[in-house]
Amino acid sequence: MEKFDVIIAGAGLAGLAAAYTLAGNGLEVLVLERGDYPGAKNVTGGRLYVNPIRDLFQDLWDEAPLERFIVREGAVLMARNHSVSIGYAGNELRAEPHQSYSILRAKFDRWLAEQAEAKGAMLLTKVRVDEVIKEDEKIVGVLAGGDELRADVVIACDGVLSLVSEKAGLRTPGSPHDYAVGLKEVIALDPAVINDRFHLEGNEGAALLFIGEATRGLFGGGFLYTNKESISLGVVIGVQSLLEAGSAPDAPAMLDAFKQRPEIAPLIRGGTTLEYAAHVIPEGGYKALGPLYGNGMLVAGDAAGLALNIGFTVRGMEYALASGYYAAQAVLRASAARNFNSETLAIYKQFLEESFVLKDFKNFQETPAVLGNPRFINHYPELVGDLMGQIYRVPPGPKDRLYPTMRKVFTLTEMWSQLKDLRDVSKI
Ligand SMILES: Cc1cc2nc3c(=O)[nH]c(=O)nc-3n(C[C@H](O)[C@H](O)[C@H](O)COP(=O)(O)OP(=O)(O)OC[C@H]3O[C@@H](n4cnc5c(N)ncnc54)[C@H](O)[C@@H]3O)c2cc1C
């Protein structure tokens, strides 16, 4: 029977960050991944913010297969018949070190796995963890591919629907409110065409987020990121919102309709779809976080619910990388003390609380409830689009002054509702 210092279930960002850190500190680490290779099954919109995690993995960034550094931000309020775009381009986004990059997980995860292996981690692919082994109320290993594999600690990094932490009795499946489903295509385009269409130079990149008709008014939004030689395009829809809408909405049809929109179609024209993927995202925030540790086990990344949608940013990757790193630090402490019970492993939560990870989650704990207000998705894009349409309209007769034009849209009832929305927005 094999015994390792640490077994990690899942070679996503959380698992590989933990493996890289642990192996780098001399521990014997086994990573088990059900996919054909790391990244084969992993989906992200595609934007990684490096600043919070730069110092945790200092040796990695120079060689990391990042796509483009983002210098153009855009938010598009997409209504049925019109849209309003807000763009941002700041010189600080061009300055090194760059704040954020587009990435492709199939490339990035594979490369990160190689770095972990170079440090000494052992990676087995096409092996699914099916069960955990529990003895005297402590997790002492896993069953995978018919084998019994033992370790001092198991780290569950098996993603959003974490079977491993569920089998360990740590996680209970959450409510549909706490999840969204994402659909994504990677569309190949010539780099020169990308640069022309998005007003970019060299390896600069653009990031666009869309709300409103991107999801036909359902809770969620659309995204577009430019990669070196492709575009990542997709929609994310709240699971509860899909359920409430009954059988009518068809998520793949929503992505198709999004691609046909006049704001999108010219940007992807002539492109070839290379990849199509669907994946669930934890979006419940702080109040929906699962347990982070138990006797002989730690939980990191999406498996613990560590992804955060705050409207203007959707982040999960740096929380996955950071939680993997802090899980490894907790194991190193436990290993020095030769004690892997939950009291010792509780230091992991403390590390996360002292870092940006749980500080962000606490800061934005009201955000999921506030963003759940349907008016943000199905009312404001129409309202703002309507206002802009009227402002730009030149009728056959005389044109109204600006103030009466605005008052047509901002009625007293509307302003009263907006005050209530503003009160909610003040919580985030
Ligand atoms: C459509 C979409 C858009 C997103 N956009 C962004 C974005 O732009 N920026 C951002 O930061 N985040 C984004 N996210 C969130 C981000 O992708 C996740 O938070 C991140 O991938 C979590 O990493 P992880 O390592 O925890 O999990 P994963 O990347 O899901 O890795 C889990 C790994 O475990 C493996 N596995 C699962 N079960 C088992 C098992 N039983 N045995 C062995 N292996 C197993 C899987 O194959 C996988 O390799 C997005 C997510 C989606 C779906």
Q: Which residues contact 34 (CB under 8 A, 6 or more apart)?
A: 10, 41, 126, 127, 128, 129
155 C-beta closer than 6 A to ligand 1: no
The one-letter code for the residue type at 130 is D
**Tens digits of per-residue pLDDT, 248-294?**
567 788 999 999 999 999 999 999 999 999 999 999 999 999 899 99
Which residue(s) pair with 132 in the sheet? Answer: 142
Look at 35-44, 130-139, 316-325, 413-422 and tell me which has the smallest mean pLDDT. Answer: 35-44
Q: Percent of the chain having pLDDT more than 70?
A: 99
Q: What is the pLDDT of residues 50-98, one digit of tens each?
A: 999 999 999 999 999 999 999 999 999 999 999 999 999 999 999 999 9
Token digits of residue 297: 């086990």
Query: How long a stretch of residues is the chain?
Result: 428
Give the pLDDT score at 342. Answer: 97
Return the residue matching tokens 């192996």: 23
Question: To which residue do tokens 């000494």 refer?
Answer: 120
Name the pairing type of β-strands 297-299 and 147-156: parallel
State the pLDDT at residue 314: 87
For residues 234 and 223, the answer to whether their CB atoms sit within 8 Å is: yes
Residue 193, number of CB atoms within 10 A of its CB: 15
HEC string of 218-275 equals CCEEEEEEECCCEEEEEEEEEHHHHHHCCCCCCHHHHHHHHHHCCCCHHHHCCCEEEE
Helix (H, G, I), strand (E, B) or coil at 415: helix
Rounded to the nearest angstrom, the distance between the alpha carbon of 17 and the centre of ligand 1 is 13
pLDDT at 249: 63
- Work out the average pLDDT over 123-135: 97
Which amino acid, residue 42?
Answer: N
- 172 has pLDDT over 90: no
pTM to 2 decimal places: 0.96
By percentage, how much of the chain surpasses pLDDT 90? 87
Does residue 184's CB lie within 6 angstroms of at least one atom of ligand 1?
yes
Residue 1 pLDDT greater than 70, yes or no: no
What mean pLDDT do residues 142-154 have?
A: 96
CB 179 within 8 A of CB 280: yes
Packing angle between helix 317-337 and helix 13-24, nearest 10 degrees?
40
Nearest atom within ligand 1 for CA of residue 14: 25
Give the pLDDT score at 248: 58
Task: Print burial letters for 303-342: b (CB count within 10 Å at least 16), e (below 16).
Answer: bbbbbbbbbeebbbbbbbbbbbbbbbbbbbebbeeeebeb
222 and 210 Cβ atoms separated by less than 8 Å: yes
CA of 387 to the centre of ligand 1 (A): 40
100 alpha carbon to ligand 1 midpoint, in Å?
18
Give tens-digit pLDDT for 360-372.
999 999 998 888 8
Q: How confident is the model at residue 247 (pLDDT cuts 50, 70, 90)?
A: low
User: Given pLDDT bands bounded at 50, 70 and 90, which one contains residue 312?
Assistant: confident
Residue of 215, 231, 317 to mutate, ligand 1, most atoms within 8 A of C-beta: 317
Instruction: Find out whether 154 and 164 touch, Cβ atoms under 8 Å.
Output: yes
Q: How far is CA 210 from the centre of its chain?
A: 16
Atom 39 (ligand 1): residue with closest C-alpha? 158
| Burial zone of 44 (CB within 10 Å; 0-12 exposed, 13-18 middle, 19+ buried) | buried
pLDDT at 179 over 70: yes
